[in-house]
Amino acid sequence: VIVVEGRADVVNLLKHGFKNVIAMNGTQVPPTIGELSQKKDIVVFVDGDRGGNLILKEVLAVAEVDFVTKAPDGKEVEELAKKEIHKALRSRITAEQAKLELAAMNTSESIRKPMIASVRPQGRPGMPPRRDMRDAPRPPMRPAPVPVAKKPVNPAEKEKFEAVLTDLIGTRGACLLDEKLGVLGKVPLAELPSTLSSLTSGVYAVVLDESIDTNVVQAAEKAHVKHLIGMDSKVKPTDTQVNIITSAEL
């Protein structure tokens, strides 16, 4: 499992075909990362700046990390090309080696003047500021979609959806699956609509620890998602071309 800092990093890796990517969503490492590290091999992938080093220290302190890698100096994971991502992952080092390098870095910095940590700002140059979806103006009324025949869910898919939904309970997160039911990545619920808006293909199903609402459905339609699986739904199955499945149906 590749652990990165934020949603933009997850989106970039998914676009380039890398799967099993999870965002920490900031400098505070969520408890789920520590729990996951006890079951899976973890590769922490951070930016090539001082902010990346600070995040790396936080993760190493609370999780059982196996490997560590960084973007090239001065670059962020979200802006890397596919070739750069491959190179970074191939050159990963063990967590023990990373700890030694961080310790050596701290020692060398202690004899120089203090530096201001350049933690990644929330607002990125060239990117519009995030808006609270609750404060966004209501979208104009759309014409009712033409009813389509929904693709039936086979037993294997049903079993997989139920297992993923069970694992998500209490996490306030969403899991993106490909057509082979492999995990593409996980994102916080608050960032699910914007994540789907950034992906126009490749996502077969989305499982979320929440009720399915209009914002999620609209984003799923644009991303050509086939199935939306949630605890329940505020949207009628007949109002969308995406197949809506609730926990009760599983």
pLDDT tens-digit profile of 209-240?
Answer: 999 999 999 999 999 999 999 999 999 999 99
Report which of residues 129 and 210 the model is more confident about.
210
Q: Say what the pLDDT of residue 200 is.
A: 76
Give the Cβ contact number of residue 2 at 10 Å: 23
CA distance 99 to 4: 18
**pLDDT above 60 (res 113):** no
Q: Could you report how far apart the first and last alpha carbons of the chain are, in Å? A: 27
- Helix, strand, or coil here: 69? strand
DSSP track, 89-141: HHT-EEHHHHHHHHHHHHHHHTTS------PPPSSPTTSPPP--TTTSPPPPP
pLDDT tens-digit profile of 99-112?
Answer: 878 876 765 454 34
Report which of residues 190 and 127 the model is more confident about.
190
- Average pLDDT on 129-141 reads 54
pLDDT interval class at 207 (50, 70, 90): very high
**pLDDT above 70 (res 36):** yes
Where do the domains of the chain lie, and which CATH numbers do they carry?
A: 2-109 (3.40.1360.10), 155-246 (3.40.140.80)
For residues 66-104, one letter each, b for 16 or more C-beta atoms within 10 angstroms of the residue's C-beta and e for the rest, the string is bbbbbbeeebbbbebeeeebeebeeebeebeebbeebee
- Contact assessment for residue 37 and residue 65, using Cβ atoms and an 8 Å cutoff: yes
pTM confidence score: 0.56
CA distance 244 to 59: 36
- Contact assessment for residue 110 and residue 85, using Cβ atoms and an 8 Å cutoff: no
Calculate the CA 166 to chain-centre distance.
18
Q: Token digits for 30?
A: 């969520």
User: Highest mean pLDDT range out of 103-112, 136-145, 150-159?
Assistant: 150-159
**pLDDT above 60 (res 195):** yes
